[in-house]
């Protein structure tokens, strides 16, 4: 297996999305977890909450004066850009007598700060049937759209990075090919594909013997692994 643009794109996307190297490797197929990590490093991607590095201790890193302010600011005192300190504690909390002490709920400080789940199907499209497709997907990753537009050739094509739940995810061409992209048409509401490709994806089962020529599967068939 070689690192094609598409595979690298997927690697980057998933890596930055928080997927583990194992997940990425499994998704890409044909590569090991180590290969993914190695590639990620070579690409300049790095770190992220790594269990091993998390235990990094601070040693002799004296940085008491973080005041490298090269910009000589004139008489324009900044109006406190970063206030918002935690409400510490209001000195004295007037306890209402010795009774009627309504025990404030401990409130288990739950923070929905879950890691983004990046679930990319084989080839980068999300599979779902007409019947079962609803809640799980919406959490559209608040991915930040970056100026990543490397390939001018496919500038007007729908790339893996352009997929959303509003555009047709039908793959055009094959992953690995330089012009591989996705349909990108407006989806048939409720489906991951546009009307035309829904017709391709969801075909009524015909009686035996009356089969039509093989409907082209995405990518030309399931991946062999």
Partner DNA sequence: CCCTGATTCGC
Partner DNA sequence: GCGAATCAGG
Q: What residue ranges bind DNA (CB under 7 A)?
A: 1-3, 20-23, 31-35, 37-42, 46-48, 50-55
Tokens found for residue 137: 């997907």
Q: Which helix (H) or strand (E) holds 181?
A: strand 181-182
DSSP per residue over 50-62, as a string?
-TTGGGPPP-S--
Query: Which residue, 60 or 80, has its beta carbon nearer to DNA?
Result: 60
Max Cα–Cα distance, the chain, nearest Å: 86
Q: Which is nearer to DNA, 34 or 164 (CB)?
A: 34
Nearest-approach distance from CB 98 to DNA, in angstroms: 45
Write down the least CB distance from residue 15 to DNA, Å: 8
- Structural tokens at position 121: 């199907």
Return the number of the residue (55 or 61) whose C-beta is nearest DNA. Answer: 55
Nearer to DNA, 3 or 219 (CB): 3
Q: How far is the CB of 16 from DNA (least distance, A)?
A: 12
Alpha helices for the chain (secondary structure H): 5-17, 21-28, 33-42, 195-201
Distance in Å, CB of 137 to DNA, minimum? 22
């Amino acid at each position: 297996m070689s690192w094609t643009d598409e595979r690298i794109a997927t690697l980057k996307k998933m890596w930055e999305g928080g997927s583990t190297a194992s997940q990425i490797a499994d998704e890409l197929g044909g590569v090991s977890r180590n290969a993914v990590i190695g590639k990620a490093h070579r690409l300049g991607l790095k770190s992220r909450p790594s269990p091993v590095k998390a235990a990094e201790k601070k040693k002799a890193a004296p940085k008491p004066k973080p005041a490298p302010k090269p910009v000589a600011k004139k008489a324009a005192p900044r109006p406190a850009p970063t206030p918002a300190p935690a409400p510490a504690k209001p000195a004295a909390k007037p306890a209402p007598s010795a009774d009627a002490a309504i025990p404030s709920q401990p409130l288990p400080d739950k923070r929905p700060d879950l890691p983004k789940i990046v679930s990319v199907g084989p080839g980068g499209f999300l599979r779902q049937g007409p019947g079962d497709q609803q809640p799980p997907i919406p959490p559209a990753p608040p991915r930040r759209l970056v100026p990543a537009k490397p390939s001018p050739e496919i500038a007007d094509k729908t790339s893996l990075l352009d997929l959303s739940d509003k555009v047709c995810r039908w793959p055009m061409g094959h992953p690995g090919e330089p012009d591989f992209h996705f349909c990108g048409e407006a989806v048939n509401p409720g489906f991951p594909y546009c009307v035309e490709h829904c017709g391709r994806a969801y075909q009524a089962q015909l009686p035996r013997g009356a089969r039509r020529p093989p409907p082209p599967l995405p990518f030309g068939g399931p991946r062999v692994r």
